[in-house]
Amino acid sequence: MSRFWSPIVDTLRPYTPGEQPREGGLIKLNTNENPYGPSPLALEAIRNETGNGLRLYPDPEATELRAAIAASLGLKADHIHAGNGSDEILAQAFLAFFCGKRPVVFPDITYSFYKTYCALYAVEAETVPLDETFRCDPQDYRRPCGGVLIANPNAPTGIALPLEGVEEILRQNPDAVVLVDEAYVDFGAESAAVLVPRYDNLLVVQTFSKSRSLAGLRVGFAIGQPQLIEALRRVKDSFNSYPLDRLALAGAKAAWQDRDWFERTRQRVMVDRDRTAEGLKAQGFDVLPSAANFLFAAHEGFAAERLWKGLREQGILVRHFSQDRIRNRLRISVGTTAECDALLAATGTLLNK
């Protein structure tokens, strides 16, 4: 530790994102990207914005994007907050709602960035074990706390919590913000956005990275009642007034409005997910029921880390986590039909070696 560092720097637990390989030719099933590319209308909107106008600051309020999202949800723009990916919004939400309070509660197996935020803001984390089938029991969240974090569908399990379960957690914690992280919701779970008008403690967070295939553009948003959105705005304007550039604002708005592309591509991902899950099961894998664009699979006869390495050698990247309870599993993003086939062929080969 350098004498120049703030004391907190040494206590940080920086998040390690999945590998972004610089070499080409790999089948990249390790960071849950969408195989189908963004809406052509989004690309066109970005091209139209690529000109001298980039000399000007973007709209710090993301007015048009927020209005577009709000309109399709039957809400107002002051129910929507936009940010540089949903990670930035999670970071803002921790500061806005969880600092200087009781511990925040989240499952033992979930998005690992939550612990990073706890370290960043000196918020105590209280983890609740998922049951032995990796399911979340809403009853476990009936406890005094400073806030609740639920990824729905959960990551890396892919398992969805039904809307009644989310609502149960909301009812049990009327004085704490319940943040529902819906990064993967469009691949088969029910969004809690419909509950926003009825629960002032609900913040739903979504992203353009997965179902809108814009991981490279960095856009996320939150949905909540205006007093929650106002806190996020204050935090944003105390950190960086313009986290969304002009190209991201234009591209995201167009992607949001292209419902047809969104529907077609997410359906294809879901079809290939279910087919790949069946294929893996036929090879002896235990595959959790996924409502996301990835599968979480284990094989009794083959250590996950060995499988991970074997796939890497065949040019297929998947994600392996070292956390105890899940170290025998691999998280496999759903690729194109051909990529899913290549994966099944590769696992088949490895298992038969």
250 Cβ partners below 8 Å, 6+ apart? 45, 46, 48, 49
Is 97 a binding residue for its own copies by CB under 8 A? The answer is: yes
Lookup: tokens for 29: 């099933």
Which residue carries 């540089």 as its tokens? Answer: 84
Q: How far is the CB of 3 from its own copies (least distance, A)?
A: 6
Taking CA atoms, 5 is separated from 9, 228, 239, in Å, by: 6, 32, 19
Residue range at the interface with its own copies (CB under 8 A); choices 130-138, 159-167, 211-219, 268-276: 211-219
Quick check: 333 binds its own copies (CB under 8 A)?
A: no
Q: Based on CB atoms, which residue is closest to its own copies, 254 or 287?
A: 254
**Distance of closest approach, residue 322 Cβ to its own copies, in angstroms:** 17
Does residue 15 belong to the site contacting its own copies (CB under 8 A)? yes
| SS3 of 158-181 | CCCCCHHHHHHHHHHCCCCEEEEE
Tell me which residue of 138, 123, 184, 179 sits closest to 157, measured CA to CA.
Answer: 184
CA distance 336 to 214: 16
Within 111-130, which residues bind its own copies (CB under 8 A)? 116-117, 119-120
Nearest CA among 345, 343, 283 for reference residue 319: 343
Rounded to a whole number of angstroms, the CA Rg of the chain reads 20
- Least distance (Å) between residue 348 CB and its own copies: 27
Q: Least separation, in Å, of the C-beta of 331 and its own copies?
A: 15
- From residue 57 to residue 86, the character string flagging contacts with its own copies as x (rule: CB under 8 A) and all else as - is xxxx--x--------------------xx-
Distance in Å, CB of 248 to its own copies, minimum: 6
Kindly identify the residues of this chain, within the stretch 158-187, that bind its own copies according to CB under 8 A: 175-177
In the bound state with its own copies, the residue whose beta carbon lies nearer, of 228 and 304, is: 228
Instruction: Name the residue nearer to its own copies (CB basis): 85 or 165.
Output: 85
Quick note: the x/- pattern for its own copies over 216-255, rule CB under 8 A, is xxx--------xx-xx-xxxxxxxxxxxxxxxx--x----
Cα separation, 174 vs 162, whole angstroms: 19
Query: Least Å distance between CB 8 and its own copies?
Result: 6
Q: DSSP assignment, residue 302?
A: B
Q: Which stretch binds its own copies (CB under 8 A): 27-35, 126-134, 154-162, 323-331?
A: 27-35
* Residue of the chain from 69, 75, 96, 288 that contacts its own copies (CB under 8 A): 96
In 51-114, where do the E strands start and end? Answer: 80-83, 104-107
Minimum Å gap between C-beta 96 and its own copies is 6
Q: Which of 242, 176, 252 is nearest to 211 (CA)?
A: 252
Nearer to its own copies, 187 or 302 (CB): 187
Of 27, 62, 66, 87, the one binding its own copies (CB under 8 A) is 87
The Cα 338–Cα 328 span in angstroms is 26
